[in-house]
Chain A
Amino acid sequence: MVRKVVFLANCLLNQNAKVAQFAFYPGVVYPIVDLLRRKGYEVEQLPCPELTFMGVNRWWQTKDQYDTPGYRKHCRAIARSTADLVEYYKRAGCKVYLVGLDGSPSSGVRLTGRNASWGGRPFASLEQYQVVPGKGVWIEELEEELARRGLAFDGETGVPMDVPGFKMDEAVKELDRFFE
């Protein structure tokens, strides 16, 4: 039987990584993690480059703000050790999947957050955070590192916890269908 490994965005196992007011669970996002474990997926975890770049007390940020040479360099450095682990499972013949955090400026897979005018003194409101199709900076850099090695995830999706109006029961149903 082919082993199935799923790499989860860091905050799906650790909500302490979130920016203020976006931690919806104490620690583990258990509806997602437990669904995947029940379905026989082996669970791995991506690091959180936002946390190691800007710290746990960072402000809300858009992809536009993280799209800098310095942050991309930071993501590329972390991507190398992460890609080593992805490569390890691919070489072992496993199917390897990605579940990111949709809406996130870094870890979005299908959706990310933009606003070209955010900056300066923080007066931002959530309504100004524009969720648009696209990947976050971290996922872009990780997938580029994998591509350099001739590798890619066998499937990828995201849990839209950074999208306004997010509903966990709908996200669980969607993920369940994705991994059928």
Chain B
Amino acid sequence: MDTKDYRSFKLALVADYFINPSRYAGLPQKTLVYEVLRDLGYGILKMPEASYPEERWIGYLEPVMDQAEEYIKRRYLVIAVGLRELHDFGLRYSLISQDSGRRKIEPPRLVAFSASEDLTDRDEIARRINSPL
């Protein structure tokens, strides 16, 4: 058996748009954000589509935040990747921040892209994801 473990110790909470752009008719259909996250080795915790009913987001987020808290406690890197044009970045980032406070963990660093940027510039996307600022 191969006893090497290939995990990256890096994760991203990712807005649905970047995985399923076809659901967002008014936004660019060509985006490399998913591909860059994949190629940088990030594990993905995917959010529901932006139009998912508001009252159901809290229920969806609870196990996601339980996972995020466990990873953060074990010193895995956890970031959040959203889109400015979507309500609360397509992540309900304000809920994530509030819940992080309640859990006494640092909220995942937000990397916010915009539909007005070139979302096909692989190097720039990678720079933004990797940037500590």
Binding site for B on A (CB under 8 A): 10, 13-18, 20-28, 30, 33, 37, 42-45, 47-49, 51-52, 55-57, 78, 80-81, 84-85, 88, 126, 164
Contacts and interface: CB of A to CB of B under 8 A. Distances in A.
Interface stretch (B62-70, B89-97, B98-106, B114-122): B62-70
B43 A14 contact: yes
Interface of B: 1-11, 19-20, 22-23, 37-38, 40-46, 48, 52-53, 56, 59-60, 62-64, 66-67, 70-71, 74, 76
A81 B60 contact: yes
B35 to A, nearest CB: 9
Contacts, number: 113
B23 A21 contact: no
Contacts of B53: 88
Contact of B63 (A43, A52, A164): A52
Contacts of B38: 27-28, 30, 33
A27 B48 contact: no
